[in-house]
Chains A and B, each alone.
Chain A
Amino acid sequence: MIELDHTFSTGKPTDYNWEAILDLDRLVPCVEGGSVLERTGPDEAKAEIAVKMGAMSLTFRGTVVIAERDDAEHRAVVRVKSRDTGGSGYANADVTFTLSDGGGSVHTAAQISGKAASMGEGVVQTVLDALITDFTQKLAAI
Chain B
Amino acid sequence: MPIGTGTYVFGPDNATLTVRTKKGGAAAKAGHDLEIEVQKWEARLELGEVSSASLTADARSFKVIAATGGAAPFGAEEKAAIPQTIDEEILKGTAIEFQSSRVEADRGGHSVAIDGELEMFGERRPVSFSLNVGFDGRLSGAATVTQTRWGIEPYTALFGTLRVADDVIVEIRASTGS
Contacts and interface: CB of A to CB of B under 8 A. Distances in A.
**A and B from one complex:** yes
Interface residues of A, number: 18
A131 interface: yes
Given A55-B81, A55-B84, A123 B30 contact: yes
B27 interface: yes
A120 B71 contact: yes
Interface stretch (B4-12, B42-50, B124-132, B156-164): B156-164
A130 B30 CA distance: 14
Contacts of A120: 29-30, 71
Contact of B72 (A32, A52, A118): A118
Contacts of A115: 72
A131 B159 contact: yes
- By size class, the interface of chain B is 20 to 34
Interface of A: 32, 51-56, 115, 118-120, 122-123, 126-127, 130-131, 134
Interface of B: 26-27, 29-32, 71-72, 77-78, 81-82, 84-85, 157-162
21 contacts: A32-B159, A51-B159, A52-B157, A53-B158, A54-B31, A54-B78, A54-B158, A56-B81, A115-B72, A118-B72, A119-B30, A119-B72, A120-B29, A123-B30, A126-B27, A127-B159, A127-B161, A130-B27, A130-B159, A130-B160, A130-B161
